Amino acid sequence: MGELNETIVVTSHPDHVKSLFTANPDDAPSLTGESPLRPIVGPNSVLTSVGARHMRQRGEEVFFLTGTDEHGEPVALAAEREGVSPQELADRNAERFKALAPLLHASNDFFIRTSDPEHVRRVQEFLTRVKDNGYVYEGTYDGWYCPRCADFKNENEIGPDNTCLIHEGFPLVLEHEENYFFKLSAYQQQLLDFYDANPDFIQPESARNEVISFVSRGLRDLSISRSTFDWGISVPWDDKHVLYVWIEALLNYATAIGYGTDSKRFDEVWPANIHLVGKDIARFHAVIWPAMLMGYGGRRQCS
Ligand SMILES: [Zn+2]
């Protein structure tokens, strides 16, 4: 499994393992449209399942979460190609992913879908609080965007002829939009202090160094809404916009374990002790996610 060296671990309490999350970009393409008829489970899911079994055998209490990230332009585009609604495509794919778990003997405790109404409601509450705390503002965004990554690219992430470096040769789109922004730039120092105080937060060392050098170069505020398509969670204070898919999908780690609905379970499981993440999405999990939690002002993923 050569891809395993592309997996990074975001961890906080290595001596007290009880919850285990996985996020895998390899799982995403089949949901997001590159091969919508064939679910693919990447190495992370298998690795996480093995880890979960091992920990249970050692007598640890484990909560193993999997699910589908269903919103965003890639899903909307794939649905259009198939002549179905995005919800229909998401329903169909979620069933296929769910059906895979028993085939793989994966021992997940819960399967979250980001179109679950409970997830939607909690995401809206969370973002409203981040805005009330002063970390969301309205602005204009100009930038190169990869519809497959559902992500805007910095200058050093743009390939020849404005193509995506991750999706080799795939043309980027120059976007100009009125967006809401998250003040990610406000968290540069706090994040660096946090990595410093928690040397095991990102592993291996090479991934940690990459993240630290990215943050040290300076953080730009993050566009968190889109108004050119409507397949997503409405911005609670402005329904002409839907939330940027990453901003709401990251919240699944909290909504799946009872954030806002089951505080007993939430307190038992939160924060995650081990979070297996594909290398290409390290930045979302090791930079944006902790910054969002800081913006919310609640308990962080890590202590
Ligand atoms: Zn891309």
Residue reference for tokens 């994966």: 106
Q: How close is the Cα of 93 to the center of ligand 1, in Å?
A: 21
Q: Domain span at residue 233?
A: 2-296
The domain total for the chain is 1
Residue 172 placed within a domain: yes
Is 44 or 260 the better-scoring residue by pLDDT? 260
Q: For 228, which DSSP code?
A: S
Arithmetic mean of pLDDT over the chain:
82
Residue 6 placed within a domain: yes
Q: How close is the Cα of 260 to the center of ligand 1, in Å?
A: 34
For residue 222, the SS3 value is strand
Q: How close is the Cα of 152 to the center of ligand 1, in Å?
A: 9
Q: How close is the Cα of 150 to the center of ligand 1, in Å?
A: 7
Q: How close is the Cα of 278 to the center of ligand 1, in Å?
A: 14
Give the model confidence (pLDDT) of 207-232 as tens digits: 999 999 999 999 999 999 988 889 99
Residues 6+ apart with CB under 8 A from 199: 208
For residue 231, give the nearest of 102, 87, 84 by alpha carbon. Answer: 87
Q: Are 104 and 50 in contact (CB under 8 A)?
A: no
pLDDT at 120 over 70: yes
CA atoms within 13 A on the CB side of 266: 16
Residue 67 placed within a domain: yes
Burial of 164 from C-beta contacts in 10 A (0-12 / 13-18 / 19+): buried
Residue 301 placed within a domain: no
* pLDDT (average), residues 255-260: 90
Residue 112 placed within a domain: yes
Q: What's residue 302's pLDDT? A: 38
Q: How close is the Cα of 153 to the center of ligand 1, in Å?
A: 9
Q: What's residue 39's pLDDT? A: 43
Residue 103: count of CB within 10 angstroms of its CB: 8
Q: How confident is the model at residue 297 (pLDDT cuts 50, 70, 90)?
A: confident
Q: What's residue 23's pLDDT? A: 56
Q: 17-21, 70-74, 210-214, 248-252: which has the highest mean pLDDT?
A: 210-214
For residue 247, give the nearest of 238, 237, 235, 262 by alpha carbon. Answer: 235
Measured between its terminal Cα atoms, the distance across the chain in Å is 32
Give the model confidence (pLDDT) of 22-49 as tens digits: 554 433 333 333 333 334 455 667 777 8
Give the domain CATH number at 105: 3.40.50.620
Q: What's residue 236's pLDDT? A: 96
Q: How close is the Cα of 169 to the center of ligand 1, in Å?
A: 9
Q: What's residue 21's pLDDT? A: 61
Q: What's residue 269's pLDDT? A: 84
Is 90 or 16 the better-scoring residue by pLDDT? 90
Q: Are 202 and 8 in contact (CB under 8 A)?
A: yes
Token readout for 47 is 């690795």
Q: How close is the Cα of 147 to the center of ligand 1, in Å?
A: 7
Say how far apart CA 130 and CA 229 lie, in whole Å.
23
Residue 303 placed within a domain: no
Ramachandran quadrant class, 161 (left: phi over 0; alpha: psi -120 to 50; beta: rest): left
Is 128 or 154 the better-scoring residue by pLDDT? 128
* pLDDT (average), residues 105-118: 88
* pLDDT (average), residues 269-284: 83
Residue 271: count of CB within 10 angstroms of its CB: 18
Residue 34 placed within a domain: yes
Give the model confidence (pLDDT) of 157-201 as tens digits: 999 999 999 998 999 999 888 899 999 999 999 999 999 999 989
Q: How close is the Cα of 160 to the center of ligand 1, in Å?
A: 13
Choice among 118-127, 219-228, 291-300 with the minimum mean pLDDT? 291-300
Residue 302 placed within a domain: no
